[in-house]
Structure 1
């Protein structure tokens, strides 16, 4: 494969992931308008926003089968059409049911954007380069988290949330066409012997019943769940209602979170292999980074006297370490099941996001609102519960045991 072809494949899949990331966080900008126009509560907003993550999670197992059967290009291009349909439904809805269905279809439509990207990289590039390439891939996609901060707030001053939704549908259709015609399936995919559906399902069941899978998935999925549940909806209300920020300051910090996540994925991806040569393997490096994320959350909850810019920058940077788990999984499991392993992990990852995002909303609703604002204690309690769950997951992640799966287990 030429460098030009490799770059084209990388950029197309990165753009697809960027689009999915924008979808993930759109409601952080839409929320004030949806609340004002439709009278949605915090619980309603949590349920509506997390519909994306729910359908995303539900789609992962069939998506994994599709990736290993039809390849990354065909699977992602076709599903992006579903996302475009969902965006139209969302933008044309005036009630909770239509909004929920639109959001549900969007989540299903972009459910393979990350898994397909990681699979394409694993099939087209050497394994030794995956941590760095995966990091840069997620970094470019993570720029979507920057877009849903200040840029989206500025756009909403000129266009309605409905118009922006329809514009997203057009962009999604263009992305589907670019994916279908701009990417060529790798030789390994074209030459792969087809295995039966029952054999693929048996492999998926084996993955989901394997101790190694759950041990490796524990901490990164709960950390990622806590971060993305906050970033895509609840971090802005936390900044304003628990830390007393002005909306404009919170918007800037939301964008900063996205930028620091981008920086973190690139830097940790580059450092991973260098530190491995010094004796710190990828599993431990990722784990230490996630422990740092837990420590920063404690600082947020305890309101340590640290400048907000520094505190939230480290929060976004350290959260990126959960992404390294995809490379850890690729090393632990045999190559022929990488699509299903990635999507199975995605399922667990996004179930955590869905559960935490919806859970935060219902926890907040325990406290009565005062002029549409929840008390600081409500937000702090919700974040404290999330931190406790992450601490439990950390114990499982670092529990000493063998973390390698042999190919013979999937024959």
Structure 2
């Protein structure tokens, strides 16, 4: 596929309606939803995985984090491949590899094959978000880009919600391997639908292309990819925003994506299903908070102050969750909802960073920031597991290690340290006022 699409047929006068764009975009959104599902699924089946593979908390943390290792590694290459191959081809390939990885994970006879499956899943679903942004730019008016981007995050987090209480209920009935196998089948269907119905540009379905896809940016500079990455990091905001969202998302996905369910069952004496409901509530609040903070930031023409507020409230929420163990379930739910909602402020990172670099580096900086976002859970999940193992007292129940309140509090302190660092670093960012900074 050529880098620059052919011009739309002059005889075609109509731009694609919203429903046509949503139909095409929706197949990528399903894949992104499945990616989030796999991202946090280990949180609900920690006991089954530790028992099945006879592994410790540190080993389970590493198994879960393998997803993030390959996901992070694929961020910048994904941007390059999306430009060269187009989202249709890349999404179809991604769904195929993801289905293979899911199948390997579901049928894994041991921890090695399960780990390879997680690696394949993480690397393949890494293409979903970038392809969604590219389809949004091609199939929707520029004025709708922020709205559709917010919908993308919402769809992804809904995948994480499905990996909460619904997953726990299905695992209790059918077993974890059967449920994961079913998700592999859904991934195959998403891939087939992508190849049959998704097209990279509106003119390929008989519509007129939006100007943003028909004309390359006049300011684009033909430089090497490595040179672009180096230049992106030469801007202060980029370097800071590479680290900042990792603290917020690291807390969210380390808790809701792995250690939150066993922590809540141990500390509050509730069932895994009820604990999964609480972590799902955290994610739903995050899903709502993202679009709200994005819209409010645009409306107020402010990035830094709003981001600072969100990060500060989120940090206070995590301190309460970790250090106030006597909260009632109602109080805990309220704190989780507030923490999740204000964590949605991390979505400001993408617009903040894009406005901080020259326009021709917008794609590169998006990949860099998304890499920083995922480095949070990638680093924190195994570190928390290591801390738990170091403070393990030897207690075992049904072949599963049981960790004390002190162990969990020590492990979660690592999360708190990063989000507090994020709050500090935000003070040193330079406000853009929702305008492209002069360079």
Higher-helix-fraction structure: 1
2:153–2:287 CA contact under 8 A, matched in 1: yes
Match of 2:418 in 1: 389
3-state SS of paired residue (1:158): helix
Q: Deviations over 1:162-212 (max 9, x none)?
A: 22222222211221222233232235557659x999723322332244332
Match of 1:326 in 2: 350
3-state SS of paired residue (1:8): helix
Match of 1:92 in 2: 107
Q: Deviations over 1:38-94 (max 9, x none)?
A: 211101110001100111011112112112333333222222211111111111211
5 Å-filtered alignment, 1:394-409, equals 394-399=423-428, 401=430
3-state SS of paired residue (2:355): helix
Match of 2:254 in 1: 229
1:119–1:338 CA contact under 8 A, matched in 2: no
C-alpha distance in 1 between matches for 2:237 and 2:137: 20
C-alpha distance in 1 between matches for 2:428 and 2:221: 36
Residue 351 in structure 1 maps to residue 368 in structure 2: no
Match of 1:312 in 2: 336
Picking from 294, 307, 320, the partner of 2:315 is 294
Q: Deviations over 1:313-333 (max 9, x none)?
A: 112222222123223233334
5 Å-filtered alignment, 1:366-377, equals 366-368=390-392, 369-371=394-396, 372-377=401-406
TM-score computed with the length of structure 2 as normaliser: 0.84
3-state SS of paired residue (1:88): helix
2:232–2:365 CA contact under 8 A, matched in 1: yes
Query: How far off is 1:294 after superposition?
Result: 0.6
2:303–2:431 CA contact under 8 A, matched in 1: no
> Bigger radius of gyration, 1 or 2?
2
Picking from 5, 10, 14, the partner of 2:29 is 14
C-alpha distance in 2 between matches for 1:73 and 1:190: 18
Q: How many residues align?
A: 404
Match of 2:306 in 1: 285
Match of 2:9 in 1: none
3-state SS of paired residue (1:167): helix
Instruction: Give the direction of change, closer, same or farther, for the CA distance of 1:189–1:83 in structure 2 (3 Å limit).
Output: farther
Stretch moving more, 338-347 or 116-125? 116-125
Query: How far off is 1:402 after superposition?
Result: 6.5
5 Å-filtered alignment, 1:208-223, equals 208-223=233-248
Q: Deviations over 1:134-172 (max 9, x none)?
A: 222211221112111110111112223222222222211
TM-score computed with the length of structure 1 as normaliser: 0.89
C-alpha distance in 1 between matches for 2:104 and 2:308: 40
Instruction: Give the direction of change, closer, same or farther, for the CA distance of 1:408–1:299 in structure 2 (3 Å limit).
Output: closer
Picking from 78, 98, 113, the partner of 1:63 is 78
Match of 1:256 in 2: 281
C-alpha distance in 2 between matches for 1:334 and 1:120: 22
Picking from 148, 168, 172, the partner of 1:133 is 148
C-alpha distance in 2 between matches for 1:388 and 1:353: 13
Query: How far off is 1:273 after superposition?
Result: 2.7
